Structure 1
Amino acid sequence: MSGSSVRRGRRLAVLAFLLAAAVLLAGPGASARAAGDEGMDSFAAVYDLQPDGSMKVTETITWRFPSGAEKHGIFRNIVVRMGWNDEQDRYRYFDLTDVDVSSPSGAPDAFRVSDNGASKEIRIGSADELTSGTQVYEIHYTLHDVLNPITADGQPVTGTAPADTVELYYNVFGPNELTERDRVSVTVNAPTGSTKVACYQGVTRSDTPCQAASGDPARFSAQGLTAGEAMSVLASYPASAFGDVRPDVRQGSSGSSVGSAAAPAANAAAWLGGIGAPVLALAVMGTLVWTRGRDERYADLTPGLTPSFGTGATGDGTPSAATVRGGSTTTAVQFQPPKGVQPGMVGTIIDETANPIDVSATLIDLAVRGFLRIEENDSGGMFSRTDWTLTRLAPPAGERLLPYERQLLDGVFSSRGDTVRLSELKNTFASTLKRIQSEMYKEVVTRGWFRSSPQTQRGVWQGLGLVIAVLGGLVIFYGRPALSAVLGGGFTGGIALGVGLVLSGLIVWFLGGRMASKTAEGSAVLAQSLGFKEYLTTAEAGQIEFEEASNIFSRYLPYAVVFGVADRWAKTFADVARAAEAANQPLVMPTWYVWSGSTFPDFTSIADGVDSFSTTSTGTFTSTPGSSGSSGFSGGGGFSGGGGGGSSSGSW
C-alpha cells in the first residue's frame, strides 16, 4: 500500500472516530431526532411578576413535528386548579386570562381555550389546516394569584400576619408532560431583584437541581428533559416590593340574594315562564328518554341471545332482527363471561361508565394473561400491604392487545422501564387514565354496543342542563336588579323565572344522564354479563372440576373484582382447594401474582391481595399532586413538581 493510501486510511479512521464520538456525546436525543421523533427543540418562557401577585407569561416554543407527518397544531394544558394542603374540601385556583397566540414561522395560529379537568387547554391550530416540520409558536396569557406570602420563619402567611418574603414556586412542567424538551429556559422579571433561587428537574419529588441564577431578572434553564420529567422554579423576593398577595383558595360555596320589581305584565310573563319552563323540560326530556334513552332489545329472542349470522343478516354481515325499546333485563346464569369480552368491557357495559376500577381490573387481567407480574411488597406488618411491584413481561404468543389495553401497559411502563412500583404512579397517572377511559368508550362503540360514546351522550345533555341552570342562577342574582331598574315596582316574578330555569336545568341534567342507551347487541352482552355475575356469586365448589380449577380461578378473578365479589369467589376456591387436597390432587397456585405473606399462599390470600391491589390502584390512578403556600426553601428544600400550577403539551 502506498504512503498516500495509508494517510487517507488514517484520515478516514479519524473522521469515523469523531463522528461516532459526536453521536455518543449527543446522547439518545440525537438518535430520536434522527428517527423523526416529536418534541420541543426549545421552550423559552418569560414570567413577568406583577405587584398584585399575578404573572404575565410569554412562551416561545419551537416544536418539531414527526418527520413525514402532518398535524393540525399543538396544545398546552395549563394547570389552574390544585389541591390545597391535602384538604378534601378546598382547592387553590389560578385564574387564566388574556390568552393570545401567534406563530412567527407561519403555522396556523387559531386557538381556543377550554376546560380539561384541573387544567385549561389552549388548543392551537385549525381542523381545516395541516402543518409539518419545525414550527414556532408564541403564547401569551396571565395567571393570577401565583405568589406565596411567607413569614420570616419560612411558613405560609395565615390570617392578617405580615409577610417577610414573597415566593414564586411554580411548575414550568408537570410530571404528566410526555413531550421531550431539548432546551428549556425561563426568565423571571419582578418589581425587584430576587434574593434566592432554586431549580429542580426530574420525576415527582426529585431534588435533582437544574441551572438557576438570582438577580434581576432571575434565570433558569435545563436540557434534555424526557417524558415524565417535571421542572420547577423557585424565586424569593422582599414582600415590600409587592402588594398584599394571597393564594386564591376556594371551597366552591356561593351566597344568594333575592328580591325584584317589575310591571304587572312582565310579572305575569316571568311567573308563566318560571312555572312553564320546568313543565316543558320534563315533557321534552321525558319524551326523549322514552323514545331514545331506553335500551334496545331483540324482540323475539331470549335475553342474552343474538340473532345468528347468515339468513336474515344485512349486507355487511351484521345480524338483522326486530328490536324494541325498554323492558326489564331477565338474567339467566352464565357459566362463562361473554365471549371475547374483557373485564374492563364488562364493567363499562354494566353501568355505562369506564370507571377506574374497570381500569384496575384490566391491569389484573393483563397479568393473568401473561403481560406483567404483580408482586406484593410487605411493609413489615403481619397483614399490611403498602405497595406492589409491577414487572412487564414478554408478550405471550397469540395474545392481542386492544387499544385501551396497550395504552394502559404503555402508561404504566413506557417512561419508567420494565419494573415500576404502584406508588410511583401516584399523582402522575390521572391524565393517562383519562386517555384510557376515552379509548374504552371508543371500544364499546366499535363493538356496536352503543351508537355513540355513552360519556358523550350523557355529557351533551347534562352540559345543556348545566347551562340552563346557570342561566337561571344569573337571572336570580344579576337579572333582578336590571329588571327592577327598567320595569319598576311590583315585580315578584324574577325569582320565579330564575328558579324555574334552575329546576329546568336540573331536570335536563338528571334525565340527560339516562340518554346513554344501548343497542340490542349491547343489551344482549349486558344480560350475559349479569348472568356471569350470578354464577360467580352462587357457584359451589362441587361444580368446579379439579383439572381446570386453577385456570378458572385466575381467569375469572378480574371479573369478580369488577363485580365486587372477589371475596365470595375466593371462598368458593378455598373449598375447592381443600377438596382437591383431600383427593390428593392439589391445585397449582397462580404465578402471575406473588404473595408476600410468611406462610404458603392460598386462594383466599391471593384474592385478598388482588382486591387490595385493585382498591389501592384505583386511588393511585386518580390522584393528582396538591399545592400549598409553604416555602419551597424550607423543610429540606423544594423538589420537582412540588410547586403550584404546571403544564403539559402535545400535538393533534
Structure 2
Amino acid sequence: MLKNWGAAAICAIALCTGTGAAVAQPSSPAGLPGTVNADVRLKLERDGRLTVTEVVTVPEGRTATRLVPLRIAVGDDRERVYEVVGASVEGEGTARASAEGLTIALRAGISTVAYEVVGAVAKIGDTLELRWQPAGGWDVALDSVKVSVITPDAPRSVNCLAGEPGTSTPCTTADLGDGRGVRATEIGLAAGERVDVAVGLQDGAAPPNARVAETSRWASAFALTPATGAGLAGLVLLLLGGVALLWYLRGRDARAMAADIGPVDVLVADGAGRVAFASPDGVLPGQVGTVVDEHVDVVDVTATIVDLAVRNYLWIEEVGGLDWRFVRRNPADPSLSGYERAVYAALLPDGVDGVLLSELRGRRIDLSRVRDELYADVVARNWFARRPDAERSLWWWAGIGVGVLGAVLTAVLVLVGAAALFGLVVVVAGVALALGARFMPARTGRGSALLEHVRGLRGYLRTANPEDIPERDREMVFSRSLPYAVVLGEVERWLAAFSGARPGLYWFGEAEQGRFADRFPAFLGAVDGVLAQAGHLRSLKG
C-alpha cells in the first residue's frame, strides 16, 4: 500500500510541475504483450483549444483503425459539432479529419497521434465543461486505456464513462489529481466501445467554444446508420437471392433458346412411303409463340388463322390483289382447341360464311376470349404451372403494394425522425419486384423441354430441302409447316426454299397464279394490322 501511495504522490507532483516537454511526450502505454493499448494526454489551452496526444501500441501482425464522429446528436433536431485540425501520426499509420469525422489507421508498432479539437468546452450554468472521447470507435479491443487531462485552472469535477455509446457505466478509475490534473483508466475496452471524459471547470478557465447545430428532420431521418446500413445490405442479399432464383427457374429456358441446334425430325413416313409433318409434342402454331415468349401476341393468332386454313376449316382467297376473303369450309368441331374455336368464331361468327379482311377493319373484333383460352391451354398442356399473365400480374401488384407500403413507412419515419432510409429500402425492393414481375412466369420441365424442340423446329425450317420430300407430299408438308414458319419468323426463308418446287395450294386462292411468295407476306402484314386494332394482344413479340 505504501508503494501505491508513493506512486500516486509522484504522479501528483508530475502533474503539478510537469514541463511542456513532458506533456508532448507521454510515456509508452503499458499492457500485456500482443494487446492493443492506448495512453492519451489531453491539454486544454487558455484559448479553448484541446490538444490531444495518443500513444497507441499495436502488436505485430495486427492493425487498428479508429473512427471518431465529429457530429454527435444531443437531441431530436440538434447536434454537437466538433472540429479537428492538424491531425498527424508519428510512426506507423495515418490520420485524416473531415467535417464528419476523424479516421486513424495504425499498423504494428508504437505510433503517436496528435491533433487539436475545437468545440470541446461548453458553458453549463455558471460553470464550464470540457468533454471529449479519448478512446472510442476502435475496430479492435483495447487491453487498457490511460487518460490524463491538464487544464488551465484546477478542475472541479470529473465524470468518466466507458462501454457502449449511450451507457452510463463508470470507468475503472477516475479521479482529480493535485493541481491541474485529472486521471482515468479503463481496463478492457471492447471493439466499438468508448471512453467519454467530462471535466467540470470554473467559469473563466477558458472561453466556451462548443457549437450546437440545428439539424433538419429530413437530414436526421435519412442519415446512414448501422440499422439502415444493415437494411441496405439485406436488400442487396434479397436482390441477389432473387437473381439466383430466376437463374434457377429460367436459366434452362435461356439456354434452350440461346444458340443454334440441329433440326429435329418432324417428317414422319408411313408404310406406303408417304411423308407428313408432325410438330414436336403436338404443339400448335399459336401455342409455340406463347410458350416461347410467355405472351399471347398478334402473330400467334395470325399463325392460327393460317393453320385453320391449312387444315381445311377456312379458305383464304385473294381479291383483286389488295384484299383477302375468309370463307367457311368446315364448322369448328371438338378436335379444335378452345383458343382455335375462339379464333374461328372471331373471324366467322354464327351465320357468317364469308368475310373480307377489309370488312374486319371496320368491325371491332374481341380477342379477349382468344387470349384467355390460349393462356389456359398452355397450362392445361402442362407447359406452365400457372397462367403467365396471372403470374406477372400477381408479382406486379405485389411489388406495387410493397412500394406503397415503403412510401407510407418512409413518411411515418420522417415524421417521427427515425431511420427513414429503411423505408426507402422497402420502396426500392417494391420497385424491383414490380419491374421483375415480367420474369416471374416459369415454365415446367415439360415446357422447357418443348423449347429445345422448338429450337429444332426452327432448325428444320432453316435447312429443309424440298428435294428430300416426295413430290406428291411437298404441297402438304409446305403448307403444314408454314404456320410454324409464321410464328417463328422464318416465312421468308421457307417461301424461298419452296419457290421453285411448290405446286398450287389447296387452301389459298391467288388472284394471279405464281404470285403467292410475293403476296403472302403482304397478307400476313394486313392480318396483323387488323388484329392489332382489336386490342387485348401485343402487336409485337417481346
User: If the length of structure 1 is used for normalisation, what is the TM-score?
Assistant: 0.42
**Does 1 or 2 have the higher relative contact order (CA < 8 Å, sep 6+)?**
1
Q: Which structure has the larger Rg over C-alpha atoms?
A: 2
User: If the length of structure 2 is used for normalisation, what is the TM-score?
Assistant: 0.50
